[in-house]
Each structure stands twice: as C-alpha cells, then as structure tokens.
Structure 1
C-alpha cells in the first residue's frame, strides 16, 4: 500500500497550529490524505486549512480544542463524525511553564498531565479501536528526550513524557500484529514558536543547530512503520543521549511482549 492507502483517508493532527504539528499536516496532506487539524487557537488552524486545500487539493477541517479540557474527547469525536481516521498524530504537549514544581499552582501541572497522559490514552483508544478491524493505520506520538529522566524545572513534564514513552512501547507490541503502526518520536531541541517564546520569556539565547520542524515531520513519517521509537538525530543502532538505541529497545520490547503474552494471553 502507498501512504494514502495505509494511513488514509483522514489524518488527525493534534497541535497543528504551528511548529512540528503544522509541518506534519502539510506533509501528510501532500501525500494525499485529508486532514483534521486540532489546536487551541482557531485562526492559525483556519489559515493552515486554506493553505492545504490550495496546495494539496485534499479536504481539511479544523477544531479549536484544548486537550487539557474535561470535554476535549467529546468535542474531538463530534468534530470527526463519520470520517475514517487512519492516522493519529499527537503533537500537542509542550510545557509552557519552565518552572520548579512548587513554584506553580497544582492546577498548572494537572492540566499538563491531562493533556499529555489522559488525552493521549483517550485518543489512542478511540481511534485505534476503529483502525483494528480495518487492519491498517498509524499512531505517531511526538515525545521529548525528557522522557528518559527527570530534572529540575521539568518534574511534571518529564513524568508525563516517561508515561508516553512506555505507553507507546506497549501499544506498538499490542497493535503491530493488527497491522497498526506505532511510533514514539523522541525529539531534542526543535525550532518551534513555543520553544522560542519560552527562551525569550527566560531571557535566554536561541541555541545553535535546532531541529527543523519540516525535517522532524519528514523523519517521523519515514520511521512510522519501523517503531516503536526513533531518536531524533541518531541512527537506529546508536544510543547517544538515550539509555539504549532504538534497535536495542525494539528487541527488548519484543522479548518482553512474548513473555507477557505467555503469562496473560496464553500465547506463544
């Protein structure tokens, strides 16, 4: 199958209003897949939708949805309606706080956890259930190198990203036999408006050699079928900043999956 056959006819991209989400939407549309764009700010979504329709000649709908809101999933389901989603890209989830845990009200951190944990589970559960009978589809979970360890100013953020990493590993092992691709794309510092704003708020300079959002999107879609993880800037067999390489992690998860199937599923 080509890309549109495997991941179409619709892709849902969360966090599509700017940065890597915008790049994902543009690239997916250029490959002939209709797009459902989610983000908190309506105007950038509408602008992107107009651009996609003109350039790629695919259909595009938008929804202003905050994934931290209690009714986020209900609003997403209503927006999607009967459309068949074959690709889910969860790109929302940056931390705008850049603060020590006790220096913010707990509500700030609960909102972050709602967006990065609960909304992720709800979206994956809802859309992968529809993909399973079709025997095709993809889940792409954009993550951060913070998933591999906590640090000051990142307590809640790193915790939610560690959840996303392990959650994605397990989904890859569970859904791969069903024909559904799952990839956790682990990023380093990326040149997004949100990251630049955080640096500006802290009075910090923009680092050299930031990853390009367009390059990130292209790599994510290229590696989607390999799963369960890809480390930005590293070869498949290179550990680098990660505890182990993507290839070694793939082997380990496969081994654990065989064990858990024997224990819980009675399989071989």
Structure 2
C-alpha cells in the first residue's frame, strides 16, 4: 500500500481481530500509522500493544458502532490526524431468527452498524479526503448481500445496501482522487466464526482476505474475495429470475 497516496493514518473500524486485525498488521508493516476502533477492549488493546512493540504508532478506542454517537466518539481521536484510508470492517451478525420474532434491538444494531454507521463514516472521512484530493475507502460486505436468506433478513438487506451504496460512492469519488472498494467477503476464518462453532477447514484466512482488499483498492467498485467459486456464487445470485425457488434452494442455511 502506498502511504503517500493513502496515508499517513489509516482508520480501521472493526479492527480488533479477524480481518480487521489482519488489515491493521499489514498496514503497519507498510508504514501506516493506525487508529483502531472496535467494541471489545481486550483484543483491541492486545493488538495495539503488539503493533506498538513492532514500532508502529497506534491510537485505539473501544466504541459500540451501533450507537448514534459512534462517529463523534471516533472523531475525538482522529480530528487532529490526516486519515487517508478508511477501512470499515464492522458489521458481523451474531443473532439469527425470524425477523418478526426478533428483539428490535437486534435488527436496529445490524442496521446501525452496516447502514447508518458506514454511511456516516464514509461521508465524514470521505469529505476530508476530498479536500486533499486523495485517499481510499474499503467498505466490507458479504455474499449474503446478493440474496435474502431465512433468519438473516436485516443482515442480508444491510449488506445489499452496502454493496449498492459503495458502487454509487465509487462513481462519485473517482473524479475526486478517492478510491472506493466494496470488499465482498465469503466464508472466512475469524475468531467470531470460531465462537459460533463453525468448521473452518474450508474457510479463507483473514490474512488472505485483507491482502486481496489492499491489493485491489484501486479496482473498484467491488472485489469478490476467494477466487472463482465465490465469483460464481455472486453472479448466480445476481442473475436468478425465479428468485422464490432460488432463495428456498440456495439461500444461506440456518445454523443448527
């Protein structure tokens, strides 16, 4: 990654573990200074200390990204910095169930992080990049954004928003010197997936996902990680005409 074009500071939202931590380590190795934001304080602190031990300059902040004051809180540690790269990696879903039966706080949090939060952060930091005429944004999404799935209504809808939003943002920002990439993530080995009990033997590593994102930041508006298999899934879900049958047959299955 080019620090002159995308630096000197990178802001990683969802940067305590998994793909976010992989982004942070790779950026630090490339000479970026880092602001790491995540909800969980312990892994956030551990990662920051690891990077500082390697000589990196790091600021960290524990923030619940579903809350309306998230941007204001993050700005408290970035307003005096030149943030040239925004990686918005927050947005995992840890509660599944029939939408009409869910506690409203569940889907409000999903929408708050994936829709409202992503929009507000892209607008604020993108505006600062516009003034400088350079910068980049990587907004992570999911193959779940290509088709609705039972028990994941709000999550699929929010990821679909992120994909279309990123495409429009890419078109608007390209003439301004700002690269925007919607990074479509598939089955990935992360601590969150371990906690959910998944068999990760066929999963892509967080490090590989992060590297694909960094390698393709200028190849927007979207990059589907994981090779030909995930690309075929995205194309198939996009071209379906009988969506009722496709959703019943191919949508993300409920966890047992």
Is the structural similarity TM-score above 0.5? yes
Separation of aligned partners in 2, 1:159 and 1:115: 12
What residue is the counterpart of 1:242 in the other structure? 234
- 1:84-115: CA deviation from partner (whole Å, max 9, x where unpaired): 10000010100000222123211210111011
What residue is the counterpart of 2:5 in the other structure? 6
**Offset of residue 208 of structure 1:** 3.0
Matches within 5 A, 1:171-182: 171-182=169-180
Matches within 5 A, 1:1-268: 3-55=2-54, 57-198=55-196, 200=197, 205-234=198-227, 239-243=231-235
SS of residue matched to 1:47: helix
Q: Indicate if the aligned counterparts of 2:93 and 2:110 stay in contact, CA closer than 8 A.
A: yes
**Offset of residue 30 of structure 1:** 0.6
Task: Assess, with a 3 A threshold, how the Cα gap between structure 1 residues 154 and 82 changes in structure 2: closer, same or farther.
Answer: same
What residue is the counterpart of 1:252 in the other structure? none
**Offset of residue 207 of structure 1:** 4.4
Report runs of 4+ in structure 1 exceeding 4 Å deviation. none
Count of residue correspondences? 236
Q: Indicate if the aligned counterparts of 2:209 and 2:226 stay in contact, CA closer than 8 A.
A: no
Separation of aligned partners in 2, 1:239 and 1:32: 32
What residue is the counterpart of 1:265 in the other structure? none
Unaligned residue ranges in structure 1 (runs of 5+): 245-268
What residue is the counterpart of 1:253 in the other structure? none
**Offset of residue 58 of structure 1:** 2.5
RMSD: 1.6
SS of residue matched to 1:111: helix
Separation of aligned partners in 2, 1:158 and 1:45: 27
TM-score by length of 1: 0.85
**Offset of residue 141 of structure 1:** 0.6
TM-score by length of 2: 0.88
